[in-house]
Amino acid sequence: MSEALQTALTERYDALSTSLRSRLVEFVLAAFDSLGSHRDGDAAGFLDRVLPIVLGAQQQMGQITDAYLSALLADMLGGSAAPVGVRLDEALRGVPPDEVYTRPFVTTWTALSQGKAYTQAVAEGRTRLLSITETDLQLARTHAAQQSMQRGGAKFFRRRLTGTANCALCTIASTQRYRVERLMPIHPGCDCKVEPLAGSKDPGPVIDEALLREAHDAVAAGTGMSDAGGRAPDYREVIVTRQHGEYGPLLAVARHEFTGPDDIPGS
């Protein structure tokens, strides 16, 4: 593989996806902030204004992810770099988008019913809206990546950390290889990207021993438990992948419980 080409492709993709994410979040939050109130009628108007932009951005994320991975795989494996497109369902969570984007209003109304001040209630709704918007864009990325890699002949992939700050969940998960038939696990606010691994031979579950040791050293510093080659505490007892009813594979801390399809509230 051409290292220079890979670097150029990655830098271009990172710039495009980061810009798309920033512009969408700015637009959605500004639309929420500009509402005169946050009653039912305001929610309906918000959905009319915002949903077409949100869904368009998700499709755009799918397109640029497909273009990036198609070019990367063509350089790795040979063949055409021309992307043929991906198919992304508007309901990536399996829930209608209008229902999902009404939830920030439900959060606001619930906070008001609990006697919280209007400004605090709106702030809580706004925080939920931010999480929903970022997570949906990441779901568009992971679903598109899976389709593109399967079509391109990749067998395995890794998660590539993005930016200068990454959570412990993603850092540890980035040291592992994943099979293409499985979606990359995420968490709310995750912005990691998918990167195919060259070749069809399984590289084994751990692909970055050095980073994994650093992560264990950090865990040892925080917990007082050392890792003298035995991987204690075992990251698999701390970081797990659970199946979330809407997100799909979800990175989580082992002691946490998460919802299944029957546990997602109607609102």
Choose between 136 and 267: higher pLDDT: 136
Q: Which of 174-178, 221-225, 258-262 reaches the highest mean pLDDT? A: 174-178
Torsion of CA 78, 80, 82, 85, to 10 degrees: -80
Average pLDDT over residues 178-195: 81
Q: Which amino acid is at 142?
A: T
For residue 26, is pLDDT > 60? yes
Q: What is the pLDDT of residue 242?
A: 58
Cβ burial of 75 (10 Å; 0-12, 13-18, 19+) is middle
Distance CA 234, CA 240 (A): 11
Distance CA 244, CA 259 (A): 6
Average pLDDT over residues 119-129: 97
Percent of the chain topping pLDDT 70 = 77
Choose between 78 and 204: higher pLDDT: 204
Distances (CA, A) of 125 to 38, 45, 169, 217: 10, 16, 25, 38
User: Across the chain, what does the average pLDDT equal?
Assistant: 81
Choose between 191 and 166: higher pLDDT: 191
Q: Which residue has the tokens 């008001």?
A: 112
The answer to whether 86 and 166 have CB atoms below 8 angstroms apart is no
Choose between 19 and 190: higher pLDDT: 19
At 18, give phi and psi (nearest 5°): -65, -40
**Per the structure, how many domains does the chain have?**
1
DSSP 128-145: HHHHHHHHHHHHHHHHHH
Q: Residue 249 is part of which domain span?
A: 3-263
Percent of the chain topping pLDDT 90 = 42
Average pLDDT over residues 140-145: 92
Distances (CA, A) of 53 to 66, 94, 142: 20, 19, 19
Choose between 261 and 45: higher pLDDT: 45
User: What tokens were used for 13?
Assistant: 């993709």
This prediction's pTM: 0.78
